[in-house]
Structure 1
Amino acid sequence: MSTLRVTAEKLIVLEHPNADALELAQVGLYRAVVAKGAYRTGDYAVYIPEQSVLPEELIEELGLTGKLAGARANRVRAVRLRGELSQGIVCRPAALAGADLEAAAGSGEDFAELLGVVKWQPPVPVSMSGEAVSAPDLLPWVDIENLKRYPDVFEPGEPVVLTEKLHGSCCLLTYTAATGEVQVSSKGIGAQGLALVETERNLYWRTVRAHGIPEVAARLAERLGAERVGIFGEVFGEGVQDLTYGATARAGLPGYAAFDVSAVIDGRLTWLDAAELLDGQLPLVPELWRGPFDRETVLAFAEGKETHSGRGLHLREGVVVRPVTERWSMLLGARAIAKVVSDAYLTRKGGTEYE
């Protein structure tokens, strides 16, 4: 899940192909459906992204009562309006009347707190939770930003690799070489600096034991001369999320695919190529393509059927984009990595979004 920022943005306004009274306001590569004539290209407005939870008074002000997602009808999610995908909300809230939105866009000012907008937190099923303990040495996973929000993360023609984004639950494992300690957590629990106490009932611990991930991490730490090694993977199957890839997590061997590796070597955290280090040792997320970065190519690969099962059982969640050579992004203020989520995934019915 991406970080939450509610910012002022310069708009590009496009014609809605199927509605005379509607238009499309483009922010980055996102498009939000707006009333015709509300904005012109070059105007500045506030963009509230998907997975935002809005306060009741703002929902009422925007005329969205009963129209948003969730049990309380207060969560922003992607929808199709007259056939066009609308992602996020473009608006000019009364609380910002008189504000210089152009200046705010230039400075990157975040209006989330002022507007009372918070990030939606997915529920955590019992099988994915449990007793947690402080884990200051746990290597955490990071939020991946959406390429549609930050389309300039990669330079045109920069060598990149696309891997399939699987719909499961992120499993974090940290191995400490000096003590042999293994810490396991989820992304959400790990972000709090906590690890899960091992039990047979916990999905993540069952997965790491079943796939021998601690032993792989130990060998990798010795090979790299690392103080700590983090292996990050997706746990999936029936009983985890609505997309199963033909696996079951209710009994037996849960589905698992590794997608990233980090290591602390000589006191410095480094991100490494999971495919290069783990091939033949652990299941990996599928690599879909590599070549010179091109936005349209990436967007095209985000759509279609999943490939992990080898049978195209259901839709593809999306793709993750990385440079072939790991690097820092000044635009993100973090490592250069981004995702694109498929339109079909965003608008599917009956989907689950557990942490």
Structure 2
Amino acid sequence: MSTLRVTAEELVVHPHPNADALELAQVGLYRAVVAKGAYRTGDFALYIPEQAVLPAALIDELGLTGRLAGGDANRVKAVRLRGELSQGLVCRPAALAGTDLERAAKEGTDFTEFLGIVKWAPPIPTTMSGDVEAASELLPWVDVENLQRYPGIFEPGEPVVLTEKLHGTACLLTYVAEDDRVLVSSKGFGSRGLALREDERNLYWRAVRGHGVPGVAAGLAARLGATRVGIFAEVYGKGVQDLAYGTDVRTADGPPGYAVFDVSAEIDGQVRWLDPAEVFADGELPVVPRLFAGPYGLDTVLEWASGRETVSGRGLHLREGVVIRPAAERYSPVVGGRAIAKAVSPAYLTRKGGTEYE
């Protein structure tokens, strides 16, 4: 899940092809449905992204009572309005009356806390939870921002790799070479520096033990001369999320689905990011499918983001999207960190009965 920031943005306004009283306000590559005439191209307004949870007073002010997602009808989610995908909210809350939004946009001011908006935290099923302990040596993973919010991360023609984004739950494993120790965590717990104590009932421990990940991590640390190795993977299957890829984690005759999407290693005191397809070229661990390698182009990315999944080999259901990264790891000044982004399928965003456990 990407970082939640509520910022002022310059708008580009487009006609709504199916509604005379509506228009589309564009922020980055996102488009949000707005009332016709509310904004003009070049205007500045606040953009509230998906996964934002709004306070009741703001919901009432925006006329959205009972119209947002979640049990409390307070969460911003992608929807289709008269056939057009609307992602996020464009507005000018009364609390910002008199605020120079153009200046705020230039300065990158974040209004999240000021407006009482918080990031949605997915529920944690019992199988993904457990007893935790402090784990300062856990190698962290980073939030991946959406390409549509930050379209300037990659340069046209830059060599990139697109891998399939799986709808599961992120599993973080750190191998500490000094004392042959294994730390396992989820994305949520890992972001707080916590690891899950080993439990055979826990989904993440079932996955790493079932696929022999600790031994592979130890071998990789020895090959690289690394003091720590981080293996980041998606655990998937029926019983994890609504998209199952032909795997059922509830059966006892095999481990949950597991696919590595990132690898890091601490070597000589520096943490380096490695390509899983190269690291595990001999098949020691399953890795996420690589869909495309070549010059970056927005149309290419958006085309690959949609379609059918390839993990099962049978195209059982829709694809969540893709993760884009440069062929050679680099820093991005656009996001202030790794040059990595995701593009999500519109069909995935608007599917019915979807689950979003972290």
Q: TM-score under structure 2 normalisation?
A: 0.99
- Identity rate of aligned residues, in percent? 72
- In structure 2, the partner of 1:211 is 211
Match of 2:67 in 1: 67
Q: Could you report, residue by residue, the CA deviation over 1:202-238 in whole angstroms, capped at 9, with x for unpaired residues?
A: 0000100000001110110011110000000000001
The one-letter amino acid of 2:267's match is I
Distance 1:232 1:137 in 2: 15
* Aligned counterparts of 1:234 and 1:326: Cα–Cα separation in 2: 21
For 1:7, the equivalent position in structure 2 comes to 7
Displacement of 1:24 = 0.2
How far 1:65 sits from its partner (Å)?
0.1
CA distance in 2, matches of 1:105, 1:125: 39
Match for residue 162 of structure 2? 162
Counterpart CA distance in 2 for 1:24 and 1:278 is 45
Q: After the TM superposition, which segments of 4 or more aligned residues of structure 1 sit over 3 Å from their partners?
A: none
Name 1:97's counterpart in structure 2.
97
For the residues of structure 2 that align with 1:178 and 1:94, how far apart are their CA atoms? 56
**Which amino acid is the alignment partner of residue 177 of structure 1?**
A
Matches within 5 A, 1:201-350: 201-251=201-251, 252-279=254-281, 280-350=283-353
The alpha-carbon deviation at position 57 of structure 1 amounts to 0.1
Task: Tell me how far apart the structure 2 counterparts of residues 284 and 330 of structure 1 sit (CA, whole Å).
Answer: 28
Deviations for 1:285-336, whole angstroms, at most 9, x for unmatched residues?
0001011110111011101111111100000000000000000111111100
Taking the aligned partners of 1:67 and 1:215, their CA distance within structure 2 comes to 50
- Give, in whole Å, the separation in 1 of the partners of 2:167 and 2:348: 10
Q: Which amino acid aligns with 2:315?
A: G
Matching residue's letter, 1:165: K
| Residues 214-270 of structure 1: per-residue CA shift (max 9 Å, x gap) | 111011001111000000000000110000000011123210100100011111111
Distance 1:254 1:206 in 2: 7
CA deviation vs aligned residue, 1:71-113 (integer Å, no higher than 9, x gap):
0000000000000000000000000001000000001000001
Q: Which amino acid aligns with 1:256?
A: Y
Unpaired stretches in structure 2, ≥5 consecutive residues:
none
Q: C-alpha distance in 1, partners of 2:280/2:135?
A: 25
Supply the AA of the counterpart residue of 1:190: G
1:351 and 2:350 are equivalent in the alignment: no
Report the alpha carbon displacement of residue 278 of structure 1 after superposing the two structures with TM. 1.4
Q: Report the AA paired with residue 351 of structure 1.
A: G
Query: Structure 1 residue 31: deviation in Å?
Result: 0.3
Q: Give, in whole Å, the separation in 2 of the partners of 1:281 and 1:39.
A: 54
The whole-number CA distance in structure 1 between the counterparts of 2:161 and 2:118 is 32
Asked if residue 33 in structure 1 is aligned to residue 33 in structure 2, the reply is yes
What is the DSSP-based 3-state SS (H/G/I as helix, E as strand, rest coil) of the residue aligned with 1:209? helix
2:189 maps to 1:189:
yes
Q: In structure 1, what is the Cα distance between the partners aligned to 2:91 and 2:299?
A: 28
Deviations 1:20-40 (CA, angstroms, capped at 9, x unpaired): 000000000000000000000
In structure 1, the residue matched to 2:116 is 116
Equivalents in 2 of 1:247, 1:255: separation in Å?
A: 6
Q: What SS class does the counterpart of residue 178 from structure 2 fall into? A: coil
Equivalent residues, number: 355
**Aligned counterparts of 2:169 and 2:212: Cα–Cα separation in 1:** 18
CA distance in 1, matches of 2:255, 2:329: 32
CA distance in 2, matches of 1:302, 1:131: 36
Report the Cα distance in structure 1 between the residues aligned to 2:57 and 2:49, rounded to whole angstroms.
18
Question: How far off its partner does 1:171 sit?
Answer: 0.3
What is the aligned partner in structure 2 of residue 153 from structure 1? 153
Please, which runs of 5 or more residues in structure 1 have no aligned partner?
none
Q: Does 1:51 align with 2:51?
A: yes
Q: In structure 2, what is the Cα distance between the partners aligned to 1:93 and 1:297? A: 37
Measured in 2, the distance between the counterparts of 1:284 and 1:272 equals 13
- TM-score w.r.t. the length of structure 1 is 0.99
Partners of 1:271 and 1:108 lie apart in 2 by: 28
Distance 1:332 1:222 in 2: 33
Which residue in the other structure is 1:88 paired with?
88
Partner Cα separation in structure 2 for residue 156 and residue 77 of structure 1: 30
Amino acid of the residue matched to residue 51 of structure 1? Q
Please provide the CA RMSD for this pair.
0.5
